[in-house]
């Protein structure tokens, strides 16, 4: 991840520049490798860079030869090489960065530019000739992005990767909606990502599941996300989603290494190391590098359910596995920092983010900059335990859409900010546009949980090779068919219990009866929620609260969002396939 801050039409941009640089510095944790800024007319772009692709030449903001178009980007464009080849007009690229292609795309496609991008991104582009700004966010909101205005500078518009860059200079801030583009010509946000499944939730799909297509599309999605010139790994909880991502990544690593060896032998009769991994013109991974052994990482309290399962997966796959433990005290000590970086007070997000935050620090210390993660699968396939209570397939389908639409306020926010707090980038293959197109257009009856079908049955079945004698298994059966554990539970049940117990000591009954007036109708419903909200208020003014969404299960009377609080958690599915 990188960090960006931008201000369009500031009344005195030169005087504002030191403040703009200070706001950019507030997200330097996202991009510790380099800093840059660019001023044109009355607009300033500030960029804090994490270098993963185009390491030696991708410093930002990016500017065209004429100095008329400037661009600050946070993200990765996986199809950048294809886009370079398909440009109608010749463009003199100055870098090897995957992001620079956005400039010539803008010159050819204007406001439709983000429709052509395959990746995760937030960007601000300034056209000096038109004195115009375009800002866009990826379809699902994998990268965090905010937009603000100030009553002190009523004509200006501000953009940033995180709230902490904006609240010192803005008094009106929104979470920039995923799949939208802002155009200063109209001063409006317009949806560009508009697949039928998303914009027509009442249109219930009827297509039967194609297991082969489901498997191959996810494999391709993982393959794209191996685009990197730096050490990378996988976050491995031992649950289905992260284990599948790890399995595919390991198979790809082994396959690519074998191809590299064959090419090396063919070239000069002996093996040698190459240069980098990239995407070729057909959107396939190409490499001349012998990749290092794939690293996998897990964290939990001692003997946590996820850590034990993750070790089984790692041993099965042959990854170089690192199991980290944390103590309850270490987790509690980190809470204020976690809330500062996450910029939320949502109970579920904070519970799950704290171990991820601690793990990311360990990963960065090992020199790894990019990790693959399994976010999005539960939303797409109805994998949360409360989906057992879905009344019918139409209700299930609409709930999966609602969950996917809100990912930018929940699991994507967690994955992005927990890792970028330490200069690590998380990539999420399940939220690939092509994979979403396949998975969200399957008849939701296939996703219903029944006595015969465990949650996410069709995803499990797609990677079940028991009837394919020539295909090696992706995962051990005990993992492929393991019951769902929400991450905050799987790191060790004592973690959530400790949070509740500590909140009980910190928040009195009297405090619960007298919430702060500035909270309005957004009243915490538990002492744990109250405690988190007070910590949030220590870092952010009250008006920032409108960017926060609380994660709650549907079809459930439980007030605690933990998966363990759902009664179905006690049931076992060992004999269900």
Strands (E), 280-438: 285-287, 295-300, 320-325, 370-372, 425-427
How many H helices and E strands in the chain?
20, 19
Q: How many CB atoms lie within 10 A of CB 574?
A: 11
Is the pLDDT at 305 greater than 90, yes or no? no
Preceding peptide of 61 cis, ω within 30°: yes
Q: Which of 24-33, 303-312, 416-425 has the lowest mean pLDDT?
A: 303-312
| SS3 assignment for 436-485 | HHHHCCECHHHHCCCCCCCCCHHHHHHCCCCCCCCCCCCCCHHHHCCCCC
Give per-residue pLDDT as tens, 130-147.
Answer: 999 999 999 999 999 999
Could you give the CA distance from residue 305 to residue 157 in angstroms, rounded to a whole number? 47
Q: Which two tokens stand for residue 162?
A: 């995180």
Q: Which one has a higher pLDDT value, 457 or 264?
A: 457
- Catalytic residue, candidates 2, 165, 170, 544: 2
pLDDT at 489: 60
Binding residues for ATP: 235, 299, 373-374
CATH classification number, 211-570, choose in 3.40.50.300, 3.40.50.620, 3.40.50.1980, 3.40.50.2300:
3.40.50.620
Q: Which two tokens stand for residue 302?
A: 């001692």
Is the pLDDT at 288 greater than 70, yes or no? no
- Please, which pLDDT band fits residue 50 given cuts at 50, 70 and 90? confident
Please, is 65 exposed, middle or buried when counting C-beta atoms within 10 Å of its C-beta (0-12, 13-18, 19+)? exposed
On whether the CB atoms of residues 424 and 360 are closer than 8 A, the answer is yes
Is the pLDDT at 558 greater than 80, yes or no? no
Residue range 429-449: mean pLDDT, rounded = 98
pLDDT at 485: 59
Residue the block writes with tokens 């983010």: 353
On whether the CB atoms of residues 567 and 490 are closer than 8 A, the answer is no
The overall average pLDDT reported for the chain is 91
Q: Which one has a higher pLDDT value, 274 or 416?
A: 416
Residue range 545-568: mean pLDDT, rounded = 78
- Please, which pLDDT band fits residue 293 given cuts at 50, 70 and 90? confident
Q: What percent of the chain has pLDDT over 70?
A: 90
542 Cβ contact partners less than 8 Å away, ≥ 6 residues apart = 518, 519
The yes-or-no answer to whether 3-194 and 211-570 have a common fold is no
Could you give the CA distance from residue 316 to residue 454 in angstroms, rounded to a whole number? 23
Phi and psi at 125, nearest 5°, equal -120, 135
Binding residues: 98, 235, 299, 373-374
What value, to the nearest 5°, has the Cα angle with vertex 111 and ends 110 and 112? 90
Could you give the CA distance from residue 547 to residue 173 in angstroms, rounded to a whole number? 8
* Bridge partners (DSSP) listed for residue 257: none
Q: How many CB atoms lie within 10 A of CB 283?
A: 15
Q: Specify whether 544 is catalytic.
A: no
- Please, which pLDDT band fits residue 576 given cuts at 50, 70 and 90? very low
What single string gives the DSSP state of each residue in 114-134?
GGG--EEEEEEEEETTTTEEE
Class of domain 3-194: alpha beta
Residue range 90-95: mean pLDDT, rounded = 94
* Bridge partners (DSSP) listed for residue 298: 323
Binding residues for L-glutamine: 98
Q: How many CB atoms lie within 10 A of CB 272?
A: 14
Radius of gyration (Cα) for the chain, nearest Å?
23
Could you give the CA distance from residue 446 to residue 55 in angstroms, rounded to a whole number? 44
**C-alpha dihedral (507, 513, 515, 517), degrees to nearest 10:** -160
Is the pLDDT at 566 greater than 80, yes or no? no
Is the pLDDT at 274 greater than 50, yes or no? no
Q: Which two tokens stand for residue 417?
A: 């900010």
Is the pLDDT at 351 greater than 90, yes or no? yes
pLDDT at 568: 56
Nearest CA-CA partner of 360 in 304, 300, 420, 294: 420
Please, is 568 exposed, middle or buried when counting C-beta atoms within 10 Å of its C-beta (0-12, 13-18, 19+)? middle
Tallying the residues shown for the chain, one arrives at 577
On whether the CB atoms of residues 104 and 91 are closer than 8 A, the answer is yes
Nearest CA-CA partner of 358 in 418, 309, 410, 406: 418
- Domain spans of the chain, in order of start: 3-194, 211-570
Could you give the CA distance from residue 478 to residue 486 in angstroms, rounded to a whole number? 17
What value, to the nearest 5°, has the Cα angle with vertex 260 and ends 254 and 264? 145
Is this model's pTM higher than 0.85 or not?
Answer: yes
């Amino acid at each position: 991840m990188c960090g960006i801050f931008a201000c369009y039409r500031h009344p005195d941009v030169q005087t504002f520049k030191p403040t703009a640089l200070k706001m950019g510095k507030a997200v330097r944790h996202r991009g510790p490798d380099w800093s840059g800024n660019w001023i044109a007319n009355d607009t300033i772009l500030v960029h804090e860079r994490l270098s993963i692709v185009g390491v030696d030449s991708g410093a930002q903001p990016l500017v065209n030869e004429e100095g008329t178009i400037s661009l600050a980007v946070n993200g990765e464009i996986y199809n950048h090489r294809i886009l370079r080849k398909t440009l109608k007009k010749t463009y003199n690229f100055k870098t090897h960065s995957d992001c620079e292609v956005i400039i010539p795309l803008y010159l050819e496609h204007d406001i439709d530019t983000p429709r052509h991008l395959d990746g995760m991104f937030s960007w601000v582009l300034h056209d000096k000739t038109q004195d115009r700004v375009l800002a866009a966010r990826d379809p699902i909101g994998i990268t965090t992005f905010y937009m603000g205005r100030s009553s002190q500078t009523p004509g200006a518009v501000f953009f940033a990767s995180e709230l902490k860059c904006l609240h010192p200079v803005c008094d009106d801030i929104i979470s920039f909606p995923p799949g939208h583009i802002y155009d200063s010509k109209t001063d409006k946000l317009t949806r560009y990502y508009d697949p039928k499944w998303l914009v027509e939730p009442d249109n219930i799909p009827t297509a039967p599941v194609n297991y082969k297509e489901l498997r191959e599309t996810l494999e391709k999605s993982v393959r794209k996300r191996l685009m990197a010139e730096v050490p990378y790994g996988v976050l491995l909880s031992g649950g289905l989603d992260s284990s599948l991502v790890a399995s595919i990544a390991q198979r790809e690593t082994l396959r690519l290494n074998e191809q590299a060896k064959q090419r090396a032998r063919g070239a000069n009769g002996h093996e040698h190391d190459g240069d980098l991994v990239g995407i070729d013109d057909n959107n396939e991974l190409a490499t001349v590098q012998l990749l290092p052994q794939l690293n996998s990482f897990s964290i939990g309290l001692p003997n946590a359910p996820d850590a034990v399962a993750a070790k089984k997966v790692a041993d099965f796959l042959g990854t170089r596995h690192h199991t980290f433990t944390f103590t309850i005290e270490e987790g509690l000590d980190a809470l204020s920092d976690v809330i500062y970086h996450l910029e939320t007070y949502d109970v579920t997000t904070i519970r799950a983010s704290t171990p991820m935050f601690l793990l990311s620090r360990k990963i960065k210390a090992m020199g790894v900059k990019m990790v693959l993660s399994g976010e999005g699968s539960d939303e797409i396939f109805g994998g949360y335990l409360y989906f057992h209570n879905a009344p019918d397939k139409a209700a299930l389908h609409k709930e999966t859409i609602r969950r996917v639409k809100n990912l930018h306020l929940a699991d994507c926010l967690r994955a992005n900010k927990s890792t970028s707090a330490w200069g690590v980038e998380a990539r999420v293959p399940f939220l690939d546009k092509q994979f979403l197109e396949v998975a969200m257009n399957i008849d939701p009856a296939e996703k219903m949980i029944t006595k015969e079908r465990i949650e996410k049955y069709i995803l499990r079945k797609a990677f079940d090779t028991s009837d394919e004698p020539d295909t090696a298994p992706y995962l051990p059966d005990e993992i492929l068919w393991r019951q769902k554990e929400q991450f905050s539970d799987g790191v060790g049940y004592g973690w959530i219990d400790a949070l509740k117990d500590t909140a009980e000591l910190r928040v009195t009954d009297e405090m619960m009866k007298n919430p702060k007036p500035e909270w309005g109708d957004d009243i915490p419903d538990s002492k744990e929620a109250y405690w988190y909200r007070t910590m949030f208020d220590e870092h952010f003014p009250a008006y920032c609260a409108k960017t926060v969404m609380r994660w709650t299960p549907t079809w459930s009377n439980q007030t605690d969002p933990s998966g363990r609080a759902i009664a179905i958690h006690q049931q076992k599915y060992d004999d269900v396939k």
